[in-house]
Amino acid sequence: MTGIQRALEIPAPIGKVWAWLMDVRNWDALSDEFIGSRGRYHHRAVPAADGGSALSGGSEVRMLDKKDREFLRWKVTDWEPPRRLAYSGGMGGRLHGFNFQLSYLLETETEGITKVSGDLLLVYANPALEILSLILPIRHFYGKSLYRMLLKMRSSIEP
């Protein structure tokens, strides 16, 4: 199991940050930062009354490729508007599979400033990956990816 935490201040009120995070169309840019592949994936909430962009408690989010094939599905596991969103998912494969949980905690620092904390937990399907995670720069790679996601969130929300 690998746990990674990163945090960043965003110069916007908590309500604006929460609203941005609830529109899963914004997650496309976050995936670009995390995966490092521009425009490769897009996201849709299931079910969503507005055709797939609004997120709510109990929703699932589908990560789709350019041909609308499902690559990954996440389930919202914690929903506390406007403070906390957590979701979990997994990638198959006996050799390289893992489950993960990603959570965002929003806190008002001062008027108009929101601290966003990202917490990523990876649980490996293969015990050998657990050992390799101690040797390989997995924590460094995912830590950088998580921080780039937070930076992208900040640049997308800033006026």
Q: Per the structure block, which two tokens stand in for 55? A: 């997120």
Q: Which of 37, 77, 43 is nearest to 57 (CA)?
A: 77
Grade residue 24 by pLDDT with cuts at 50, 70 and 90: confident
Angle (CA) 100-142-74 rounded to 5° is 30
Going from the C-alpha of 80 to that of each of 83, 85, 134, 145, the distances in angstroms are 6, 6, 33, 25
Q: Per the structure block, which two tokens stand in for 112? A: 């108009």
Going from the C-alpha of 51 to that of each of 16, 48, 77, 94, the distances in angstroms are 22, 6, 21, 35
Which CATH architecture fits 2-157? 2-Layer Sandwich (3.30)
Token match 């521009």: residue?
38
Q: Are the C-beta atoms of residues 60 and 74 closer than 8 Å to each other?
A: yes
The pLDDT score that the predictor gives to residue 51 is 54
CB atoms within 10 A of CB 110: 9
Q: Which of 120, 150, 147, 113 is nearest to 21 (CA)?
A: 150
Q: Per the structure block, which two tokens stand in for 8? A: 């960043």
157 or 45, which is more confident? 157
Q: Which of 82, 155, 87, 81 is nearest to 118 (CA)?
A: 87
- pLDDT above 80 (res 111): yes
- Cis upstream peptide for 47 (omega within 30°): yes
In the chain, where the domains are located: 2-157
Angle at which helices 138-157 and 14-22 pack, to 10 degrees? 110
The pLDDT score that the predictor gives to residue 71 is 79
pLDDT tens digits for range 66-85:
888 887 888 888 889 999 99
